[in-house]
Structure 1
């Protein structure tokens, strides 16, 4: 009898760590916060990521044997309506993430070919148009099947992790062998200023630690899941937190806050590699070209997989009749071609929105980061609420991280407050910096309108589909009788 090999503890740790940790998250927050990103990572890890990971571990443990994922976890306590809203909002976050990555690919290619970013404010308007073409091309590729890209994507994850480790090691080694720190570490530079600018990027920190939930779909494949799954979540949480903190220190050693700010969100990740290479007497241009070339190829493969995998997960978890049959129709290999093209149309619309007036490349990337971040906060708000109800009802999971009910409720309320703060904080800087009421309204609409409208439309869609499905079933029963 053939037995399926179970996932071990460290395999599961890597399944959580790799999609959660990203070097781009380090440089993005270093641009926005400078050295203040270091304690911010620590605070978010302890006050949000660790509690959230513990909640996920408990809910996954309580639902062991069922289909893993946020739909199952939310449905078990809040019911199918909120489970659908949580899952759909997770899908919406992916749409905004795809919008962002399609706009990043041209920048990657520019660094790979020229060793610099040729997209500046004078031609920033070209990025959305290139992104529109990429969305169409990569969707077409995804409809042809994504299995061929899995190995390249897997290599990309390992390459990015290896490149990050190399960066951290050589940045710290350079400092201890005589290269002075580019950043002055003092209380005034490290302690965050709790102003609107800080809170407007707070959701970026929450977005950066997202990912513990992806392991939930593997719980039935884990060896000794009651013990290993929660343990893997806790280990991965600690590993992610330490990596972000050490990575942020390394970036600050290499580049000053002024250099990072001048590089901007689009280029900081490449600039620091270039500076590091030059500090060691190596051609910075050559190193960054090689880094960007490999990153471009592997990222495209990863994006193709990421276009398809959330759709597959979305339609495999929700009950039959939740979506129109047009969207759930599968090809012979299981590919949801209609759903992929529908996703593409939505992303095309989202990409076109910035064409209405953004002419700065930095403001363009900031808006995309804000949209991706605040959208992903929404399913976490629903998930945390589900855990609150779970513990309020005195339910006990096989694995319980928070033994005391009072502690469980305290940490979940804190995580809920931080999530809501991150959601509303994402658009705070736009509103405060607006020169008129009309500009403030436009900023609010652009920042919050897309996610909220898409979530409402998704809920309306499922209501209409369920009504049609119920009517069809009633007709079939009538005909049978």
Structure 2
């Protein structure tokens, strides 16, 4: 039987589902206004596009590797740095899975009732159903995830295009809620205070570009990856970048920055469509239809993130890095069943803690969640540095950003520089006295340090246990 390969369009839609978030558009507009479009353009050219090019070159070089981002970092920086990078990646994303799971019932509520009015028990139950569906598909049908992502990705793209076209139309015909001026797109850095605010806002906007690495574990399912994997990443990066920028312009047509400031983070997606429906005369049926669409989109995104996280963290970790049962693969399929089950249990425990644990438990969870924020930056910073060392060694990949090493290494420097800026200014404001920021600094940077120490402990205990097991077997 001929091997079934992932098409370029499937890759593009997988990346689109992993990266693009309509909520990023609405929330960036809410927090920063139209200047967020300018910040997104800067982020695209100096961070997202170089990042995708780096992943494309690594993917073409290591086309038989199954862990994606772990293997790419390991190639340039070695196993120890790759471990710390991927541990940070796991810490950041294991808290993202419950967020995705709880969005499924929220969007379903919009689909059924036109608003978010699920009870705590219903939210917990439906989140568990979403996690179980994700687990079953991850264990039994992992090779079909690419095929599943393609039509759902097109649905997601279609819903976004509806919004963008309608928004641009309202701006062109003079019916928009926000009157656009050139000054709105200007990033104000005239004063020290405004510069600090702009750097902080830009740092958080960079988080909107995370997720392209979800296709890393699937590079060995792509025919001629040196061409098609590269093509998929490039198309996806340009598509997502363009949609983000046009999205900021469009969202302003349906509501002002003040209108969106009244909306919670999780409801921003459907609220944007509600504003659109009210503006152009569509009834509640439109919000319900979008709610059902985003229920499906979010469920598939949950499946994609869950399987990619397990593969990226555990599939190529050296023996003794993690407990042996976590890295154990199915003999028949090579799937990390234990890791997927472990992730699912953790995600549901986090959901149960926030919903049923009382106010104190909920506050504790969200505090820990905030403590993981900086962990997401570490793997991308390491990936940029890894690429610099990779090119410095003179290694040849079937696809190269440029044959000139200096030009190529600038891509790695650009990615790492942008992540370093995000690391510093997402948690630190240089216009505020240090003593007044200590709580925030301890939360973000102290949290990262704490999780790194936990990672060191896990690695040490796992290696010790693995060596003891080997000695017993001799």
Q: What TM-score do the two structures reach when normalised by structure 2?
A: 0.83
1:159 matched to 2:159: no
Equivalent residue, structure 1, for 2:26: 27
Q: What's the offset of the Cα at 1:415?
A: 1.9
Paired residues of 2:103 and 2:298 also in contact (CA < 8 A): no
Q: What's the offset of the Cα at 1:383?
A: 0.9
Paired residues of 2:18 and 2:304 also in contact (CA < 8 A): no
1:340 matched to 2:341: yes
Listed one character per residue, the Cα deviations across residues 300-322 of structure 1 (whole Å, up to 9, x for unaligned) are 45425533542244322212332
Aligned with 2:175 (options 165, 175, 180)? 180
Paired residues of 1:204 and 1:370 also in contact (CA < 8 A): no
Distance 1:355 1:380, change over 3 A: farther
**Aligned-partner SS, 1:265:** coil
Q: What TM-score do the two structures reach when normalised by structure 1?
A: 0.82
Listed one character per residue, the Cα deviations across residues 429-480 of structure 1 (whole Å, up to 9, x for unaligned) are 6x9779x94x733333333444442333123212221222123223433xxx
Distance 1:396 1:304, change over 3 A: closer
- What does 1:37-76 correspond to in 2, within 5 Å? 37-67=36-66, 69-76=68-75
Equivalent residue, structure 2, for 1:122: none
Equivalent residue, structure 2, for 1:418: 418
Q: What's the offset of the Cα at 1:251?
A: 0.9
**Aligned-partner SS, 2:287:** helix
Paired residues of 1:9 and 1:228 also in contact (CA < 8 A): yes
| Distance in 1, Cα, partners of 2:288 & 2:112 | 7
| Distance in 1, Cα, partners of 2:125 & 2:445 | 25
Q: What's the offset of the Cα at 1:422?
A: 0.9
Point out the more displaced range, 161-170 or 207-216: 207-216
1:406 matched to 2:403: no
C-alpha root-mean-square deviation of aligned residues, in Å?
3.6
1:259 matched to 2:256: no
Distance 1:31 1:113, change over 3 A: same
Q: What's the offset of the Cα at 1:230?
A: 2.2
1:14 matched to 2:13: yes
Q: What's the offset of the Cα at 1:377?
A: 1.6
Aligned with 1:446 (options 443, 446, 457)? 443
Equivalent residue, structure 2, for 1:123: none
Count of aligned pairs between the two proteins: 459
Point out the more displaced range, 21-30 or 147-156: 147-156
| Distance in 1, Cα, partners of 2:373 & 2:410 | 24
1:456 matched to 2:453: yes
Equivalent residue, structure 2, for 1:246: 246
- What does 1:347-358 correspond to in 2, within 5 Å? 348=349, 355-356=359-360
Unaligned ranges ≥5, structure 1: 120-125
1:190 matched to 2:185: yes
Q: What's the offset of the Cα at 1:276?
A: 1.7
| Distance in 2, Cα, partners of 1:231 & 1:63 | 16
| Distance in 2, Cα, partners of 1:293 & 1:10 | 24
Aligned with 1:474 (options 465, 471, 474)? 471
Distance 1:198 1:22, change over 3 A: same
Distance 1:219 1:300, change over 3 A: closer
Q: What's the offset of the Cα at 1:201?
A: 3.4
Unaligned ranges ≥5, structure 2: none
Paired residues of 1:370 and 1:427 also in contact (CA < 8 A): no
| Distance in 2, Cα, partners of 1:273 & 1:221 | 36
Distance 1:408 1:240, change over 3 A: same
Paired residues of 1:16 and 1:233 also in contact (CA < 8 A): yes
- What does 1:287-302 correspond to in 2, within 5 Å? 287-300=286-299, 302=301
| Distance in 1, Cα, partners of 2:135 & 2:67 | 25
Listed one character per residue, the Cα deviations across residues 368-403 of structure 1 (whole Å, up to 9, x for unaligned) are 996676332211011111111112223332221133
Paired residues of 1:155 and 1:298 also in contact (CA < 8 A): no
Point out the more displaced range, 81-90 or 446-455: 446-455
**Aligned-partner SS, 2:315:** helix
| Distance in 2, Cα, partners of 1:412 & 1:387 | 6
Distance 1:312 1:413, change over 3 A: closer
Point out the more displaced range, 399-408 or 304-313: 304-313
Q: What's the offset of the Cα at 1:35?
A: 0.6
1:221 matched to 2:221: yes
| Distance in 1, Cα, partners of 2:135 & 2:228 | 36
Q: What's the offset of the Cα at 1:161?
A: 1.8
